[in-house]
Amino acid sequence: MSEVSEQLLKGTTKEGQRPAALMLEDGTFFTGTACGATGEVYGEICFNTSLEGYLEVLTDPSYAGQIVTMTYPQIGNYGVNPEDAQAARPALSGLVARDVCACPSNWRSSVSLPDFLRQSNVVALEGVDTRALVRHVRDHGAMRAVLSTEDVNPESLLAKVRASAPLVGENHVQRVSVPEKRQVGAEQLPKSHSFAVAPAAKARYKVVAYDCGAKESILHNLVRCGCDLTVVPWNTPAEEVLAMQPDGVFLSNGPGDPEAVEGTYSQVEKLLGKVPVFGICLGHQMIAKASGAEIEKLKYGHRGGNHPVMNLRTGRVEITAQNHGFGLVWPSLGPLVPALSGGFRNHQPDLCFWARSRKAPVVDNPRFGRIQLTHVNLNDGTPEGIAFLDVPAFSVQYHPEASPGPTDAHYLFTAFTRLMDGREDYLDIDIADDRLAGWSFGSADGAAVAGAVEGRA
DSSP 279-311: EETHHHHHHHHHTT-EEEEEEEEEEEEEEEEEE
Are 396 and 280 in contact by the 8 Å Cβ rule? The answer is yes
401 is catalytic: yes
The number of beta carbons lying within 10 Å of the beta carbon of residue 308 is: 15
pLDDT for 435: 72
Q: Encode 131-151: b = buried (16+ Cβ within 10 Å), e = exposed.
A: eebbebbeeeebbbbbbbbee
Name, in order, each residue with C-beta under 8 angstroms of 41's C-beta and a sequence gap of 6 or more: 67, 93, 94, 123, 146, 147, 148
Among residues 281, 307, 384, 410, which one is catalytic?
Answer: 281
CA pair distance 65, 255, nearest whole angstrom: 8
Q: What is the pLDDT of residues 124-160, one digit of tens each?
A: 999 999 999 999 999 999 999 999 999 999 999 999 9
pTM above 0.75, yes or no: yes
- Grouping H, G, I as helix, E, B as strand and the rest as coil, residue 54 is helix
* H or E stretch at 412: helix 411-420
Q: What is the pLDDT of residue 456?
A: 43
**Which pairing describes strands 19-24 and 144-148: parallel, antiparallel, or unpaired?**
antiparallel
pLDDT for res 407: 86
What does each C-alpha distance from 146 to 23, 57, 211 come to in angstroms? 5, 20, 29
- In the chain, which residues have pLDDT < 70? 1-2, 4-12, 15, 436, 438, 441-457
Residue 439 CA to residue 449 CA, distance in Å, equals 7
Q: Are 252 and 232 in contact (CB under 8 A)?
A: no
Which of the residues 216, 318, 384, 401 is marked catalytic? 401
| DSSP codes joined into one string, 119-183 | HTT-EEEES--HHHHHHHHHHH---EEEEESS---HHHHHHHHHTSPPSTT---HHHHS-SS-EE
Per-residue pLDDT at 194: 78
**pLDDT at position 273:** 97
pLDDT for 351-377, tens place per residue? 999 999 999 999 999 999 999 999 999
List 88's β-bridge partners, or say none.
none
Give the H/E segment covering residue 262.
helix 262-271
Binding-site residues for L-glutamine: 62, 254, 256, 282, 285, 323, 325-326
Domains of the chain: residue spans and CATH: 18-162 (3.50.30.20), 173-456 (3.40.50.880)
pLDDT value at residue 198: 78
In angstroms, rounded to a whole number, what is the distance separating the alpha carbons of residues 214 and 406?
19
The answer to whether the beta carbons of residues 248 and 420 sit under 8 Å apart is: yes
Contacts of 163 (CB under 8 A, 6+ apart): none
